[in-house]
């Protein structure tokens, strides 16, 4: 085992020597400070144990996240490190992805054991969203919006930026009627904004905690239903789905788009806000697994812009427009991470421990880094009947 660790350690340091973009400061468990590369972005990694490198070699970014949660490494800026790693993905490929057998195991878990059947989808969603509304209230804005904000130049107000995101969606809807279906309504932030602008909204969710909160805040101004999107049978003038498609899973993409098709009136519009990966990266992403799919959103999978267009076309829909604002999501995630850190004492008073906080901090930080690097993005995609 010692020989294996030393070999992997040497391979890791050789990999660090090969970086092509940005600079890395590495603090080793022995206290050495090593410098690699030059320029921006500047990243820093503090290893407390060389087993982190062994975990990287075996389990890729899943192992990296697991060892962070265990306290085996730290960084003053995880988002900056992930940004740096994404820019050097070709150079660090040997440590970025799980080994062949680990990938096979993770993909079997992701696609079979956690597949989003109607029953399993409810379990998958509850594992992330039903950890207590009080927890989310401590770091989301007052609208309880858990999706990317849309910032104006120089803006710092998160809630205002969230309302701008909602207003842009509402401005893109068809003017042929006011009946709106929201697939994945969360805690009711969009439904409330839409109701305030005169729309008749039905929101569906499979999270009991979210339904209870949304019902209370809307107090009859919108219909909130605990229902899987696949069970929808109505017809609506417009459909909105904000960052819900990521949780659908590849096997069920045709059903999701078929639901949009059958539920949308002839002159209607569907606006989907979706987190995406680049088309050029999709095949690599699809065949692998990662920390977020394995731990944060079990059963989920991102689409690429090309995949959205392909799935829409197969269902009899067409893309009218796509508006990309990925850098705003980097800022949104960074703001959430800061607010969570500011309220860590209150979060722990809710009964959550250090591992819980490190898990969430890592998740938000790696998202911020990936959006900054362009490894992921977010788009509002308008669909209409073909």
Mean pLDDT by 10 residues, the chain (386 residues): 68 92 96 95 96 89 94 97 94 74 55 56 53 90 97 94 98 92 97 97 93 94 95 96 94 96 97 98 89 83 97 98 98 97 96 93 96 97 98
- Tell me phi and psi for residue 248, to 5 degrees: -70, -45
Per-residue model confidence (pLDDT) at position 123: 57
Tokens representing residue 337 in the block:
């991470």
Residues 6+ apart with CB under 8 A from 240: 169, 173, 180, 181, 182, 183, 190, 194, 270, 271, 272
Question: CA-to-CA distance for 61 and 206, rounded, in angstroms?
Answer: 29
Given this model, what pLDDT does residue 101 score? 46
Calculate the alpha carbon distances from 14 to 17, 46, 72, 78 in Å: 5, 17, 21, 22
Q: Which of these, 83, 64, 84, lies nearest to 16 by C-alpha position?
A: 84
**pTM of the prediction?**
0.90
| Dist CA 221 CA 217 (whole Å) | 9
d(CA 151, CA 162): 8
CB atoms inside a 10 Å sphere around CB 154: 5
Q: What's residue 194's pLDDT?
A: 97
Alpha-carbon Rg for the chain in angstroms: 21
**Distance, C-alpha 230 to centroid of its chain:** 22
Contacts of 151 (CB under 8 A, 6+ apart): 161, 164, 328, 331
Backbone angles phi, psi at 143, to 5 degrees: -80, -5
Beta carbons of 130 and 121 less than 8 angstroms apart: no
Q: How far apart are CA 268 and CA 239, in angstroms?
A: 8
């Amino acid at each position: 085992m010692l020989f294996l660790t030393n070999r992997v350690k040497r391979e890791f340091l050789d990999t660090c020597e090969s970086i092509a973009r940005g600079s890395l400061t590495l603090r080793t468990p022995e206290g050495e400070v090593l410098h690699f590369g030059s320029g921006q972005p500047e990243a820093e990694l503090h290893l407390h144990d060389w087993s982190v490198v062994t975990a990287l070699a075996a389990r890729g970014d899943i192992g990296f996240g697991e060892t962070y949660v265990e306290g085996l490494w730290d960084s003053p800026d995880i988002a900056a490190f992930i940004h740096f790693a994404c820019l050097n993905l070709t150079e660090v490929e040997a440590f970025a992805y799980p080994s062949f057998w680990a990938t096979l195991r993770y993909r079997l878990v992701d696609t079979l054991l956690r597949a989003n059947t109607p029953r399993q989808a409810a379990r998958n969603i509850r594992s992330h969203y039903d950890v207590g509304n009080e927890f989310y209230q401590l770091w989301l804005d007052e609208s309880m919006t858990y999706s990317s904000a849309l910032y104006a130049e120089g803006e710092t107000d998160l809630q205002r930026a969230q309302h701008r995101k909602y207003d842009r969606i509402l401005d893109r809807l068809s003017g042929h009627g006011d009946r709106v279906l929201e697939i994945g309504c969360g805690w009711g932030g969009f439904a409330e904004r839409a109701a305030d602008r005169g729309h008749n909204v039905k929101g569906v969710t499979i999270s009991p905690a979210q339904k209870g909160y949304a019902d209370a805040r809307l107090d009859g101004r919108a219909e909130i239903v605990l229902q899987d999107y696949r069970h929808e049978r109505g017809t609506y003038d417009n459909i909105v789905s904000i960052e819900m498609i990521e949780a659908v899973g590849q096997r069920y993409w045709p059903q999701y788009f078929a639901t949009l098709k059958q539920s949308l009136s002839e002159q209607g519009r569907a606006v989907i806000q979706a987190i995406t990966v680049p088309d050029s990266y999709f095949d690599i992403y699809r065949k692998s697994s990662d920390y977020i799919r394995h731990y944060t959103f079990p059963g989920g999978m991102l689409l690429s812009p090309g995949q959205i267009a392909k799935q829409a076309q197969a269902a009899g829909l067409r893309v009218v427009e796509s508006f990309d604002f990925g850098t705003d999501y980097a800022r949104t995630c960074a703001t959430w991470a800061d607010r969570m850190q500011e309220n860590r004492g209150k979060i722990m008073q809710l009964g959550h421990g250090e591992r819980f906080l490190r898990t969430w901090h890592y998740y938000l930080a790696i998202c911020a880094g990936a959006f900054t690097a362009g490894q992921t993005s977010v788009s509002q995609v308008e669909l209409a009947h073909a």
